[in-house]
Amino acid sequence: MNLNTNYKNLQQSYLFSTIGKKVADFQKTNPALPIIKLGIGDVTRPLCPAVVNAMKKACDEMGKAESFRGYGPEQGYGFLKEAILNYYKEKGVSLELDEIFVSDGAKSDVGNILDLFDKDNTVLVPDPVYPVYVDTNIMDGRNIVYMNANEENGFLPMPDEAVKAGLIYLCSPNNPTGAVYTKDQLKAWVDYAIDNHAIILFDAAYEAFVRDSSLPRSIFEIEGAKKCAIEFCSFSKTAGFTGTRCGYTVVPLELESDGLSLNKMWLRRQTTKFNGVNYIVQRGAEAVFSPEGRKQIQENIDGYMENAKVIVATMKKLGIFYTGGENSPYIWLKCPEGMKSWDFFDYLLTKLSINGTPGAGFGENGEGFFRLTAFGDPEQTKEAMRRLENADIYKK
């Protein structure tokens, strides 16, 4: 028996476990101030009533013989797929039901989609980046090429004709930088992918936070994208489903290569290695798209974006370079001059009792940067910004 020794190439610790440990250790030493968590990108607002009611009703259905549901379709129930299809229609994107696959979250699908691709593909990944894109490819032994996202390009790297890759990861609105590609920028990526026979793996988990209507919320708003892109989306941030687990992936029917349909391959992958999402959760996800659900989740999103505004205001006040915050729950900021990410992390934690995420954890270009999130409590977010504005480090 031989193990997959690519696992030896993974870095030992996972970013958020390291942070969790540091915070827990610090908590034990009784900090003077209560710790404010603006770190891991987890939501804090409860599920909205429309979702809770729909799930409780589904629980009751599951408890009665006449309405009990056993195995469902691996690709998701029609009722949910239709609601997703209509949601895309509002963005001006026309899909087929067979192009939509319901999953237990974008993270699973972003990882599992790699089953469809050969190990010898070169993978183009932005730096800084959500670590899952990198780790899943290291596990498979693929060659990873990084593209620089930095202050100069506003953390939105563009195609470089000198670089060739089979798989391209794009995330917009971006995690961790909050930066959002324009339609023209995405068009350049689509053109590059088609010219180079590459596939764009497009992570749209934060699309619901886009407020500027000129910015794309789906790569399929871009002409030609159905020939070269797969899109991952999630209810996690949109509707507070981080602990409820539901997402969806769009694999266009047009995607073909080497005599194989990627849509059919993914269907086969999912019917073989997955058994569909819990029925109760799918009813909850359906309720997200109901009129009450839409209204209720929008209130939550608006609440988070109020936090983002508060953080952005402090960035402006202190003259700190930042991206995100306007169309994204993430604010990506430059550490005080010369300070490294983990040093700034330690400073914020031990001096101000603020827990954020060091940019260096997302890649080399993240060094010297830091991520704050808008998912915290409104009062606590304001308090954190007050602490920051009064911090020694920002007193010149």
Beta bridge partners of 171: 203
CA angle 39, 43, 44 (to 5 degrees): 100
Which of residues 215 and 285 has its CB atom nearest to a copy of itself in the complex?
Answer: 285
CA distance 372 to 115: 33
Task: Name residues contacting a copy of itself, limited to 304-323 (CB under 8 A).
Answer: none
CA distance 321 to 233: 29
Helical pair 49-62 and 279-288, crossing angle rounded to 10 deg: 150
Minimum CB separation from a copy of itself for residue 250, in Å? 18
List C-alpha distances in Å: 238 to 31, 172, 293, 294, 295: 33, 14, 11, 10, 12
Helix (H) or strand (E) holding 189: helix 183-195
What one-character DSSP code corresponds to residue 173?
S
Which of residues 259 and 338 has its CB atom nearest to a copy of itself in the complex?
Answer: 259
Are 232 and 220 in contact by the 8 Å Cβ rule? The answer is no
* Contacts of residue 338, Cβ cutoff 8 Å, sequence gap at least 6: none
Interface with a copy of itself includes 195 (CB under 8 A)?
no
Q: Which of 390, 394, 100, 349 is nearest to 218 (CA)?
A: 100
Give the residue ranges of the annotated binding site: 14, 41, 71, 106-107, 130, 175, 206, 234-236, 245, 275, 371
Give the residue ranges of the annotated binding site for substrate: 14, 41, 107, 130, 175, 275, 371
Minimum CB separation from a copy of itself for residue 298, in Å? 17
Minimum CB separation from a copy of itself for residue 104, in Å? 6
Q: Say how many residues touch a copy of itself, by CB under 8 A.
A: 80
Q: What is the DSSP string of 263-309?
A: HHHHHHHHHHH-----HHHHHHHHHHTSHHHHHHHHHHHHHHHHHHH
Minimum CB separation from a copy of itself for residue 309, in Å? 21
Among 126, 240, 324, 325, binds a copy of itself (CB under 8 A): 240
Which of residues 46 and 154 has its CB atom nearest to a copy of itself in the complex?
Answer: 46
Beta bridge partners of 354: 36
CA distance 178 to 73: 35
Minimum CB separation from a copy of itself for residue 262, in Å? 7
Which of residues 111 and 336 has its CB atom nearest to a copy of itself in the complex?
Answer: 111
Task: Name residues contacting a copy of itself, limited to 8-27 (CB under 8 A).
Answer: 8, 10, 14, 17
Phi (first) and psi of residue 230, to 5 degrees: -120, 135
What one-character DSSP code corresponds to residue 111?
H
Task: Name residues contacting a copy of itself, limited to 248-287 (CB under 8 A).
Answer: 257-260, 262, 265, 268-269, 271-281
Minimum CB separation from a copy of itself for residue 180, in Å? 24
Phi (first) and psi of residue 115, to 5 degrees: -55, -30
Interface with a copy of itself includes 245 (CB under 8 A)?
yes
* Contacts of residue 325, Cβ cutoff 8 Å, sequence gap at least 6: 178, 308, 309, 311, 312, 315, 331, 374
Minimum CB separation from a copy of itself for residue 138, in Å? 9
Minimum CB separation from a copy of itself for residue 268, in Å? 6
Which of residues 108 and 182 has its CB atom nearest to a copy of itself in the complex?
Answer: 108
Among 26, 91, 98, 139, binds a copy of itself (CB under 8 A): 139
CA distance 306 to 16: 25
Listed ranges 88-96, 197-205, 210-218, 380-388: which one lies at the site for a copy of itself (CB under 8 A): 197-205
Which of residues 1 and 162 has its CB atom nearest to a copy of itself in the complex?
Answer: 1
Task: Name residues contacting a copy of itself, limited to 24-83 (CB under 8 A).
Answer: 40, 42-49, 51-52, 55-56, 59-60, 62-65, 67-72
Minimum CB separation from a copy of itself for residue 119, in Å? 8
Interface with a copy of itself includes 191 (CB under 8 A)?
no
Task: Name residues contacting a copy of itself, limited to 322-361 (CB under 8 A).
Answer: none
